[in-house]
Chains A and B, each alone.
Chain A
Amino acid sequence: GAVVSQHPSWVICKSGTSVKIECRSLDFQATTMFWYRQFPKQSLMLMATSNEGSKATYEQGVEKDKFLINHASLTLSTLTVTSAHPEDSSFYICSASRERGYGYTFGSGTRLTVV
């Protein structure tokens, strides 16, 4: 149990366009989902925390107008990278919490390349 599906696994987009990444909890309800960014050979950097039905909480330094997060249901959160630029190229990972203290289940990640 506790599976999180993330799509797409990789995407290439042109500079200036927007791209949406989906994160779904398949077999549990996730009241809270998290979005991370990971640069090569580095740790995960939390971008934002999204709670179902409310606005996401962004970490300091993360542009909320560039990285739009929507958590419209208990099983789906989306991250939209707007007006993408090459510096937005990275590996993005979502995770979901089933209940406090239980731990977090991670999606398989999305490799975004902006050309």
Chain B
Amino acid sequence: AQTVTQSQPEMSVQEAETVTLSCTYDTSESDYYLFWYKQPPSRQMILVIRQEAYKQQNATENRFSVNFQKAAKSFSLKISDSQLGDAAMYFCAYRDQGAQKLVFGQGTRLTINP
């Protein structure tokens, strides 16, 4: 079964600085999707960024970008110019191309220090 591991339970960063959240996954599949979701204190899950495994180019959404290393099965999230509103739990998630359900990591709690 596929697994997703986030090895950093908590991270903190100074406002305006850059932080990288780690995620590794285990799969024998070649086609799949990877996601980062944000869960702020409101507990609403918000899609931050997604990556198709067949694409070599790393996905980018404004201040959020990923470093997708398929061979290493690594999918880290970089947040540039951190803002107070970025404070949240961040979950890495995986889905097989042919499957329906998401597999979530344990989450990383990100704190932004003003």
Which residues of A are in contact with B by a Cβ distance under 8 Å? 32, 34, 38, 41-44, 46, 49, 91, 93, 95, 97, 100-101, 103-106, 108-109
Q: Which of B11-19, B21-29, B40-48, B65-73 contacts A (4 or more CB under 8 A)?
A: B40-48
Q: Is the CB of B50 within 8 A of A93?
A: no
Instruction: Return chain A residues, CB-CB under 8 Å to B33.
Output: 101, 103
The contact size tier of chain B is 20 to 34
Instruction: Return chain B residues, CB-CB under 8 Å to A41.
Output: 109
Q: With A43-B104, A44-B91, A44-B104 known to touch, is A101 a contact of B52 (CB < 8 Å)? A: yes
Q: Is the CB of B101 within 8 A of A109?
A: no
Q: Is the CB of B43 within 8 A of A46?
A: no
Q: Is the CB of B101 within 8 A of A34?
A: yes
Please measure, in the bound complex, the distance between the C-alpha atom of A3 and the C-alpha atom of B50, giving whole angstroms.
18
Instruction: Return chain B residues, CB-CB under 8 Å to A42.
Output: 106-107
Instruction: Return chain A residues, CB-CB under 8 Å to B43.
Output: 38, 91, 93, 108-109
Chain B, Cβ-Cβ closest to A100: B97
Instruction: Return chain B residues, CB-CB under 8 Å to A101.
Output: 33, 52, 95, 97
Ranked nearest first, the 7 interchain pairs of A and B with the lowest CB-CB distance are A106-B45, A43-B104, A108-B44, A109-B43, A103-B47, A43-B107, A43-B106
Instruction: Return chain A residues, CB-CB under 8 Å to B47.
Output: 103-105
Chain A, Cβ-Cβ closest to B109: A41
Encode B84-104 as 1/0 by CB contact (under 8 A) with A. 000000010001010011101
Please measure, in the bound complex, the distance between the C-alpha atom of A32 and the C-alpha atom of B99, giving whole angstroms.
11
Instruction: Return chain A residues, CB-CB under 8 Å to B97.
Output: 100-101
A74 to chain B, nearest CB (A): 15
Please measure, in the bound complex, the distance between the C-alpha atom of A107 and the C-alpha atom of B36, giving whole angstroms.
17
Q: Is the CB of A97 within 8 A of B91?
A: no
Chain B, Cβ-Cβ closest to A91: B43
Please measure, in the bound complex, the distance between the C-alpha atom of A38 and the C-alpha atom of B39, giving whole angstroms.
12
**Sample (5) of A-B pairs whose CB atoms are under 8 Å apart:** A46-B101, A93-B45, A101-B33, A101-B95, A103-B33
Please measure, in the bound complex, the distance between the C-alpha atom of A5 and the C-alpha atom of B16, giving whole angstroms.
33
Please measure, in the bound complex, the distance between the C-alpha atom of A34 and the C-alpha atom of B107, giving whole angstroms.
19
Among B46, B50, B100, contact of A49 (Cβ-Cβ < 8 Å) = B100
